Structure 1
Amino acid sequence: MTTVYSSASMSLDGFIAYDDDNPGPLFDWYQTGDVEMTTASESVAFRLTAHSADYLREQTARLGALVVGRRLFDVTDGWTGTHPWGVPVVVVTHEAPADWNYPGSDHFHFVGGVAEAVARARGLAGERDVCVAAGDIGTQALEAGLLDEVRIDLAPVVLGSGRPYFTGGTSWMLGEPTTLIQTARVTHLIFPVQGAAAR
């Protein structure tokens, strides 16, 4: 059964990157261990702790598609046609790029709204999971009731300001964590989504 979740590394004060989109020390945990993990991108490899490696391998083995916003797509230049997890990517945008063409770019799909993007991603993923990027797109998916889980890789860092994990004004209740793994420079957390919080 497909699980739709948001996921990102996050600072203790709730940010997923600095204002200029640089994640800074939030990604330090990807290089803190002895376990090498390769990806679909030749330029991206990790050296993880055993606990983080097990967590990521289980997550990526279930992953079938990603949903991201146009901002993340532009910042990464669409990962030059191949996302490190090697799965199809659905980009929420009002205008598909006209001059973007890399080998593998046929694995990228451009749609106009979050609900349509999640539906397309579910179709591409089959029985596997769908990951929705945190930030504006993750917030829209949460507020539309499209997320089953919120996954956070919590780094022991305070950024002070930056891009928040969630950007909306709606209050939401999450359940008790179903996963809690503490290891070097990160705590991996998975929370089930319960619904809008009563005021």
Structure 2
Amino acid sequence: MGRVFTQASTSIDGYVSGPDNSGFDKLFRWLQEGDVAVTAPTGTMTFHLSPPSAAYFSGLIQATGALVVGRKLYDFTKGWGGQHPMGVHTVVLTHRPLEDNEHFTFCSEGIEKAVEIAQVKAGDKSVGLNSGEVARQAIDAGLVDEVFLDLVPVILGAGTPFFAPGRGYELEGPVSVIEGSAVTHLRYKVRYATSAAV
């Protein structure tokens, strides 16, 4: 079974979106800041990355076997037109489940069950969690092994934070630092206070 990680582009002051879902143009500018074309597995998106960011992003795509996202993101993207761009099975954590299909499972049984379903779908590969409430619930439940931060040199001032105040965990590292264009990719291990956690 692969690792469970959460990953997001975040501002210097720790937000993954600004007020009223703003700021994405600034947070994701790094995805078009280079000369190396990286196309999502479904072919629906192409990014132009600096060489370090291209290597980082391609490796993350190859290592990921399934995703867990929230219903808010699913609705915001209109279900990505029927399949997540990464081309992997996606578990949607929601209080308002829809009918499951070959690309999506809708889970209303909590974060533990959503991660369990995703791990089965991922096999030996990793499970990626979208940031925000899904990541916070998973960290609080002791389910997250690593955190990937794509740190962008912008200050949003308010919005949706990546982290809630620590609840029995610390970040260890960074275990890797990759300097891209307009972004620094940081990877941390999550260390929990109790041996019952991951």
- CA–CA distance in 1 between the matches of 2:134 and 2:59? 24
More divergent stretch after superposition (116-125 vs 171-180): 171-180
CA apart distance, 1:143: 0.5
- Equivalent position of 2:192 in the other structure: 195
What RMSD, in angstroms, separates the aligned Cα atoms of the two structures?
1.8
Q: 2:104 aligns with which of 83, 89, 108?
A: 108
Q: 8 Å contact 1:5–1:149 — kept in the other structure? A: yes
Cα offset, 1:171, TM superposition: 5.4
- Give the structure 2 partner of residue 18 of structure 1: 18
The whole-number CA distance in structure 2 between the counterparts of 1:156 and 1:41 is: 29
- The answer to whether the Cα contact below 8 Å between 1:40 and 1:83 also exists between their aligned partners in 2 is no
Inter-partner Cα distance in structure 1 for 2:46 and 2:124: 27
- Selected match of 1:129 from 126, 130, 137: 126
Q: CA deviation at 1:12?
A: 0.5
Offset of 1:170 from its aligned partner? Answer: 2.3
The one-character-per-residue Cα deviations of 1:144-187 (angstroms, maximum 9, x if unpaired) are 00000011000000001111112356253111111101121100
Structure 2 portions without partners, runs of 5+: none
Evaluate the alpha carbon distance shift between residue 130 and residue 166 of structure 1 in structure 2; reply closer, same or farther with a 3 A threshold.
Answer: same
4+ residue stretches of structure 1 with deviation over 3 A?
Answer: 40-43
- Superposition deviation, residue 32 in structure 1: 0.4
CA drift of 1:24 comes to 2.5
Is 1:86 the counterpart of 2:87 in the alignment?
A: yes
**Given residue 12 of structure 2, which amino acid in structure 1 is its aligned partner?**
L
Question: Taking every aligned residue pair, what percent have the same amino acid on both sides?
Answer: 42
Does the 8 A contact of 1:6 with 1:132 survive in 2?
yes
Structure 1 unaligned segments of length 5 or more: list them: none
